[in-house]
Amino acid sequence: MLHTVNKSPFERNALESCLRLAKKGSAIILFEDGVYGAMAGTAKSDMVASRTGDYEFYVLGPDLAARGIAEDQIIGGVKVVDYGGFVDLAADKGTVQSWL
């Protein structure tokens, strides 16, 4: 399964709920305001950083760039993809579940 999260973890509980209910081994892509959850060195970084063994994490590059986040500010183990990569994940990982 592919889970998508488009909310900042500072504002809503979408990422928290996703991490509670996504089966281990699933792929998770952070996009739109969700990309803030992929940043290293924030008060919320640990949510993703502590789970890189359980899930494959991805973050949408165009949304990072739009928000002025450089790729070297991203948590280790989180892969940056473009829209084409997002499409590939949706195609390859099975059912897509959006955490809005």
By CB under 8 A, tell whether 95 contacts other proteins: yes
Mask for 32-61, x = binds other proteins (CB under 8 A): xx----------------------------
CB 12 within 8 A of CB 32: no
- DSSP, res 85: H
Cα separation, 84 vs 80, in Å, equals 11
Applying CB under 8 A, among 5, 28, 31, 39 the residue interacting with other proteins is 31
| Rg of the chain (C-alpha set) | 12
2-5 and 27-30 as β-strands: parallel, antiparallel, unpaired? parallel
Position among 11, 23, 43, 70 found at the interface with other proteins (CB under 8 A): 23
Q: Which residues bind other proteins (CB under 8 A)?
A: 1, 4, 6, 13, 17, 20-23, 26, 31-33, 62, 82-84, 86-88, 90-91, 95-100
